[in-house]
A and B are shown apart, each in its own frame.
Chain A
Amino acid sequence: MSGPNTEYDPVEVTPLKADEVESMRDDALAAVAAASDLEELKAARTAHAGDRSPLALANREIGALPPQARKDAGKRVGQARGAVSKALAERTLVLEAEHEQRILVDEAVDVTLTLDRRPRGARHPLRTVEERVADIFVAMGWEVAEGPEVEAEWLNFDALNLGPDHPARTMLDTFWLSPASAARVLRTHTSPVQARTLLDREPPVFVVCPGRVFRTDELDATHTPVFRQVEGLAVGPGLSMAHLKGTLDHFARELFGPGVVTRFRPSYFPFTEPSAEVDFLCPVCGGDEPALSTCRTCRGEAWIEWGGCGVVNPRVLVACGVDPERNSGFAFGMGLDRSLMLMSGVADIRTMVDGDARFPMPFGWEI
């Protein structure tokens, strides 16, 4: 590099002549524009904007000019280098985009290739129905109570006003543990959970009890010795059958749809008095002809049996230590298997229990 030389005539320094600088700049711009890929652009950058490029060399000569000439030459060279740098940046963007575009095209795959690589699981719809029912009641402030499946005779029967000689006992076809004198049964309903709840806490009590129950029925299309039901119990001051109706109406609408119509029909259960069956009007045919007589959902009956219910018999309250003078209550129970069949059109109960993995699949994880 040359040192400053005040005696030096700028006009005599060839590389800093205006036309020379322009020529260098034009060569550079032409080389940048001519670069067809990033490799060529890199070479053009080295040749025209690198440390040893003509413009860089010219820039170094500026310091050797007399002060009066430096400003002019500096401006000229600076502008030229700026133009080259800008062109390089612009060309880089263009070429990078082209490059990426090419790679992405090269990497294209057939996205229709099957992707069922991870095995698919499913929860049993009886489980999800059970949870759905629990959620409906939990949303109203109720709680979910549980109890054992092998139950003491006293809790399954006596405490529920089903004394040893009660004719309804023989109607509930009961599995007894051996020996029968040990007074232990497979619970025939989830009602003992209600009794346990009353023994366990003070009113007001609002609980639902979903669970598996057992009756000595042979398995066929509509009967099963093992099924699931949900029972509900509300005990507190001033509860009446109207509250039962309101609760079941809400429950039915949440489960089966907003238009569902229910009705009470007289019935008998030892643990409730008055007792009722709750039916709902067939949502498929609406109970109206001509669809009614050929309806497969209600089998032409218009009303579909859903479950049993009633006002808690004061004797049950007494056996569980609740003062029937200060409290009243209502209870209900319905089969979850049956509810699921009504919701989904499953016609044969056996398909729900034979363990075929294809059965739960269409239901998803929530119902």
Chain B
Amino acid sequence: MRVPVSWLREHVALPDSLGVDELADRLTMLDLKLEEVDRVGGDVTGPLVVGRVLSAEPEEHSNGKTVNWCRVDVGPEHNEDQPDGGEPSRGIVCGAHNFGPGDLVVVSLPGTVLPGGFAIAARKTYGHVSDGMICSTRELDLGDDHDGILVLAPGSAEPGDDVPTLLGLREDVLDLEVNPDRAYALSIRGVARDAALGFDAAFTDPADLPVPDAAGPSWGVTVEAPEACPVFVARTVTGLDPSRATPSWMSRRLQLAGMRPISLAVDVTNYVMLELGQPIHGYDRDHLQGGIVVRHAAEGEKLTTLDGQVRTLSAGDLLICDDSGPIGLAGVMGGEHTELGTSTTSVVVEAAHFAPAGIARTARRHRLPSEASKRFERGVDPALPRYAAQRVVDLLVELGGATAEPGETVVGTVPAMPGIELDPVLPAAVTGIAVKGEDAADALRAVGCQVEGSGTDGLLGVVPPTWRPDLTDPYDLVEEVLRVVGYDRVPSVLPTAPSGRGLTRTQRLRRLAGKALAGDGLVETMSFPFLGPADLDLLGLPADDERRRLVLLENPLSAQEPGLVSTLLPGLLHAAARNVSRGLEQVALYETSPVFLGGQDAVAPVYGVDRRPTPEEVAALDAALPAQPLHLGVVLAGEREPAGWWGPARPVSWADAVETVREVGRLVGVDVVARTGALAPWHPGRCAELLVDGVVVGHAGELHPRVCRAFDLPARSAAAEVDLDAILAAAPAGARPDPYSVFPVAKEDVALVVDASVAAVDVAAALQAGGGELLESVRLFDVYTGAPVPEGQKSLAFALRLRAPDRTLSDDEITASREAAVAEAVRVTGAVQRT
């Protein structure tokens, strides 16, 4: 809400000495939050004055243009004596022709700075020295009209008068953020009322105006939906002079408040809405066909609104109709046909009250947030319509030369405000301030409530004023008391919470995983969770890959990313590429964020709010949500270790990606096992499937060369993505370790030649199985291919550690265990022992 301060001061007797900053601060502390003070015209300086045109000589020039060489009386302070004995004045060249001798105009003399910092100087043009400029409305920032210069009404000023003062070019405008519960503050009336409260100043209600007794109805009105439209007032004026322009003070105020002046009749309706907060609609009576009917739309009915759009209506939309059908969307936007136009002479004025919920739904359905709907959906003072209509009629009579018809149509009555019982101790209990009951009662009276009861004993009976439909329960009243008493009086008391359980185990493990990754040299990133098919194509996912089943958004920010991430890799790969392009040689990034799994298309129930939903109902809510497991994504590019005096750089390899995940697992006590895998976007021969307790939790390895190229990543970049929830869920709680042996260890090495396709992990598992309980561990320490190992085979060297819990092993036991291990590996994998 933009509030010109001079307009506000018309309705509240604020001290002259009160500065705009102090005013804004106080309003902010009353819940009318200042967005900014717009110091309109603050940059206008210098001699910007009223001038009377003495003469205007048209001169045709060689370029075909005719300009006027004018002498202008700009008042004794600025006039210059004329050598030829002519009247003291200044000479100005002007290209416009909509004025003549005797007219009052606005002159910017040399030294003036116009709105927008436009500096005026004397300049030679068309063979004259022009002492400045005669101004148009646009140059004064008073409107868009650039066709001619601004001619002031005769007798409205004297030459030499200061124009910024005369036309209100300088004005402080408060831009207030109005919260949804303070609909009343979407008006000068409401803001003035709170300013009066804040400074204990006198308030003059602009709605407090006489409404003469009516001589019968004004226009036929039938309200078929009284719940949606409890009050409908219609008034009529005739004989409006369509040639009358909106007075400059009114168009200036509309403009300062952020509305565009259009025509007198329309401007008056807007002005009254800004002043009182009551949206007004005017109909050209000559285009109305029969009486007005307020009813709900039939499904599929059509209406062309003021903006020229054909709207298809729903049963929930409230309509204003005449015999021709719908002529307006009630409280949202009028129809084109009955619009007030340049030839309108008779106006039917509508000032009605519409119920908030229906207006909100209609405005949302048709995407039509209008000044009217914004007010109605928050709640307008239902007592206003008669006074607002009267104000419109008065202004049209005064400014437009119209005649008020004696009739007044009033359908419905102002609904009574429901009373609220307030326990007088509640304000103190809720705020923690020692507010006495009687002080609470006084505070509520100050905001306009009627209060029954003393506040010292018994409940207070509170009836909110009609402009406060937001006050519906005792806590709302407490907030009003607090607003008056002052938020700054709330004391600071630290409550004692019951002894807590600390972080959950999962929360602790998640922190540990993050620290493990950072400790492993990876940097955490946070990407946006939006994803589209283009990135899935870059990953090379096949058409039936389940990661292509995105959870889709109804209103994505970008059409290219219509869904939520099903994989963290695109965001990580793009981030890695950015780092590489910015010159980083070692890129190692990780992200832990949820992914969203598609294919869950259930509808989430919407329950009432008068009771707690049952556990089954809560479960139904959860069942409608997509699975959202927490994933860990990793990308490694470039060097894993840099070159140095210790040797050459170590480039990233597939194994780093696998190791990174295994390291996280090790730190939380989970053995992550790698098996041969094959999944996009990984290199088909360098992709590990990662398992925990036999269940696949993700993949790691080298990225497919095509994927590296597609994302502008170095060749052989590596990546991993795993279900972190699954890994952490497997973390053993309360481990009970077996006692460890203190007897000597026996170390044995074996080398086994196997087919190149045999997984090392399978050979190790077979050795372990064959070696039995004495075989403490098996570790691969070398892989060798080439002569004498036959083509297509590889030699795997394992270090075996053997130990018994209760004795030193004999040479025979060691040999037996080793041979059993090898025999099992031979049996399972076809290995041949190298000797």
Q: A122-B518, A241-B432, A354-B575 are in contact. Are A182 and B602 (CB under 8 A)?
A: yes
Instruction: Give min CB distance, B161 to chain A, whole Å.
Output: 35
- Whether A274 contacts B482 by the Cβ 8 Å rule is yes
- Whether A318 contacts B610 by the Cβ 8 Å rule is yes
Instruction: Give min CB distance, A245 to chain B, whole Å.
Output: 4
Q: A177-B552, A352-B526, A357-B587 are in contact. Are A168 and B180 (CB under 8 A)?
A: yes
B520 at the interface (CB under 8 A from A): yes
- Whether A245 contacts B491 by the Cβ 8 Å rule is yes
- A116 proximity list for chain B (CB < 8 A): 642, 644
- Whether A165 contacts B377 by the Cβ 8 Å rule is yes
Q: Chain A interface: which of B261-269, B354-362, B449-457?
A: B354-362
- Whether A354 contacts B621 by the Cβ 8 Å rule is no
Q: A120-B521, A274-B479 are in contact. Are A158 and B607 (CB under 8 A)?
A: yes
Question: Who on chain A is nearest to B596 by CB?
Answer: A150
Query: Scoring A residues 268 to 291 as 1 if CB is less than 8 Å from chain B, else 0, what string do you get?
Result: 101001111100000000000000
Question: Who on chain B is nearest to A161 by CB?
Answer: B609
A159 at the interface (CB under 8 A from B): yes
Partner of B588, one of A119, A142, A180: A119
Main secondary structure of the interface of B (DSSP, over half): loop
Query: Scoring B residues 769 to 808 as 1 if CB is less than 8 Å from chain A, else 0, what string do you get?
Result: 0000000000000000000000000000000000000000
- Whether A319 contacts B612 by the Cβ 8 Å rule is yes
- Whether A353 contacts B526 by the Cβ 8 Å rule is yes
A204 at the interface (CB under 8 A from B): yes
Partner of B523, one of A122, A134, A163, A263: A122
Question: Who on chain A is nearest to B609 by CB?
Answer: A319
Interface residues on B, range: 35 or more
- Whether A117 contacts B625 by the Cβ 8 Å rule is no
Main secondary structure of the interface of A (DSSP, over half): mixed
Partner of B500, one of A141, A175, A241, A245: A141
- A119 proximity list for chain B (CB < 8 A): 521-522, 586, 588, 640-642
A109-124, CB < 8 A from B: 113-114, 116-124
A178 to B518 CA separation, bound complex (whole angstroms): 37
A315 to B181 CA separation, bound complex (whole angstroms): 16
Q: A176-B555, A318-B610 are in contact. Are A353 and B528 (CB under 8 A)?
A: yes
Q: Chain B interface: which of A9-17, A48-56, A246-254?
A: A246-254
Partner of A142, one of B497, B607, B609: B497
- Whether B430 contacts A268 by the Cβ 8 Å rule is no
A153 at the interface (CB under 8 A from B): yes
- Whether B628 contacts A150 by the Cβ 8 Å rule is yes
B118 at the interface (CB under 8 A from A): no
B33 at the interface (CB under 8 A from A): yes
- Whether A266 contacts B29 by the Cβ 8 Å rule is yes
A67 at the interface (CB under 8 A from B): no
B341-368, CB < 8 A from A: 356-357, 360-361, 364
- Whether B494 contacts A153 by the Cβ 8 Å rule is no
Q: A117-B641, A314-B473 are in contact. Are A144 and B603 (CB under 8 A)?
A: no
A196-252, CB < 8 A from B: 199, 204, 206, 212, 216, 218, 225-226, 234, 238-247, 249-250
- Whether B624 contacts A328 by the Cβ 8 Å rule is no
Query: Scoring B residues 410 to 435 as 1 if CB is less than 8 Å from chain A, else 0, what string do you get?
Result: 00000000000000000001111100
- B622 proximity list for chain A (CB < 8 A): 148, 152
- Whether A266 contacts B31 by the Cβ 8 Å rule is yes
Q: Chain A interface: which of B327-335, B392-400, B576-584, B813-821?
A: B576-584
A339 to B767 CA separation, bound complex (whole angstroms): 56
Question: Who on chain A is nearest to B373 by CB?
Answer: A167
- Whether A163 contacts B609 by the Cβ 8 Å rule is yes
Q: Chain A interface: which of B97-105, B509-517, B733-741?
A: B509-517
- B626 proximity list for chain A (CB < 8 A): 150
- B524 proximity list for chain A (CB < 8 A): 122-124, 127, 360
A245 to B574 CA separation, bound complex (whole angstroms): 44
A99-137, CB < 8 A from B: 113-114, 116-124, 126-127, 131, 134
Partner of B180, one of A138, A268, A274, A356: A268
- B553 proximity list for chain A (CB < 8 A): 175-178, 186
A139-158, CB < 8 A from B: 140-144, 146, 148-155, 158
Q: A121-B521, A152-B604 are in contact. Are A167 and B360 (CB under 8 A)?
A: yes
- Whether B611 contacts A218 by the Cβ 8 Å rule is no
Partner of B487, one of A182, A212, A264: A264
B592-635, CB < 8 A from A: 593-594, 596, 601-607, 609-613, 618, 621-622, 624-626, 628
- A164 proximity list for chain B (CB < 8 A): 606
A355 at the interface (CB under 8 A from B): yes
- B611 proximity list for chain A (CB < 8 A): 318-319, 321
A238 to B504 CA separation, bound complex (whole angstroms): 28
A161 to B181 CA separation, bound complex (whole angstroms): 13
A319 to B628 CA separation, bound complex (whole angstroms): 26
- A150 proximity list for chain B (CB < 8 A): 551, 564, 596, 625-626, 628
A39 to B589 CA separation, bound complex (whole angstroms): 58
B554 at the interface (CB under 8 A from A): yes
Instruction: Give min CB distance, B291 to chain A, whole Å.
Output: 30
- B473 proximity list for chain A (CB < 8 A): 273, 314-315
A176 to B596 CA separation, bound complex (whole angstroms): 14
Instruction: Give min CB distance, B510 to chain A, whole Å.
Output: 10
A216 to B528 CA separation, bound complex (whole angstroms): 12
Query: Scoring A residues 53 to 91 as 1 if CB is less than 8 Å from chain B, else 0, what string do you get?
Result: 000000000000000000000000000000000000000
B30 at the interface (CB under 8 A from A): yes
Q: A117-B642, A183-B606 are in contact. Are A144 and B504 (CB under 8 A)?
A: yes
A238 to B524 CA separation, bound complex (whole angstroms): 42
A178 to B572 CA separation, bound complex (whole angstroms): 26
- B28 proximity list for chain A (CB < 8 A): 265
- B30 proximity list for chain A (CB < 8 A): 266
- Whether B621 contacts A242 by the Cβ 8 Å rule is no
Instruction: Give min CB distance, A143 to chain B, whole Å.
Output: 5
A267 at the interface (CB under 8 A from B): yes
- Whether B526 contacts A241 by the Cβ 8 Å rule is no
A179 at the interface (CB under 8 A from B): yes
Partner of A267, one of B33, B378, B475, B586: B33
B215 at the interface (CB under 8 A from A): no
- Whether B603 contacts A181 by the Cβ 8 Å rule is yes
- Whether B495 contacts A183 by the Cβ 8 Å rule is no
A226 to B530 CA separation, bound complex (whole angstroms): 10
Query: Scoring B residues 462 to 503 as 1 if CB is less than 8 Å from chain A, else 0, what string do you get?
Result: 000000000001011011001100011011111111111111
- Whether B555 contacts A118 by the Cβ 8 Å rule is no
- A152 proximity list for chain B (CB < 8 A): 604-605, 621-622, 624-625
- B593 proximity list for chain A (CB < 8 A): 212
Please indicate which of the listed interface residues B28, B557, B646 has the most CB atoms of chain A within 10 Å of its own CB: B557
Q: A154-B621, A183-B606 are in contact. Are A143 and B493 (CB under 8 A)?
A: no
Q: A149-B594, A154-B604, A218-B557 are in contact. Are A141 and B497 (CB under 8 A)?
A: yes
- Whether A265 contacts B33 by the Cβ 8 Å rule is yes
- A176 proximity list for chain B (CB < 8 A): 553-555
Across the A-B interface, give the 7 residue pairs with the lowest CB-CB distance, nearest first: A321-B612, A242-B432, A355-B575, A119-B521, A268-B179, A266-B31, A274-B479
Which residues of A are in contact with B by a Cβ distance under 8 Å?
A: 113-114, 116-124, 126-127, 131, 134, 138, 140-144, 146, 148-155, 158-159, 161, 163-168, 170-171, 175-184, 186, 199, 204, 206, 212, 216, 218, 225-226, 234, 238-247, 249-250, 263-268, 270, 273-277, 311, 313-315, 318-322, 328, 352-358, 360-361, 365
| 17 CB < 8 A contacts A-B | A117-B646, A119-B642, A122-B518, A122-B524, A152-B621, A158-B609, A168-B180, A176-B554, A180-B554, A182-B603, A183-B604, A239-B495, A240-B493, A245-B432, A265-B29, A266-B487, A357-B587
With A204-B498, A274-B483, A276-B487 already in contact, 17 other A-B pairs whose C-beta atoms are closer than 8 Å: A119-B521, A119-B640, A119-B641, A121-B521, A127-B514, A127-B524, A138-B503, A177-B553, A184-B604, A240-B430, A242-B492, A245-B491, A246-B491, A266-B30, A274-B478, A319-B611, A360-B524
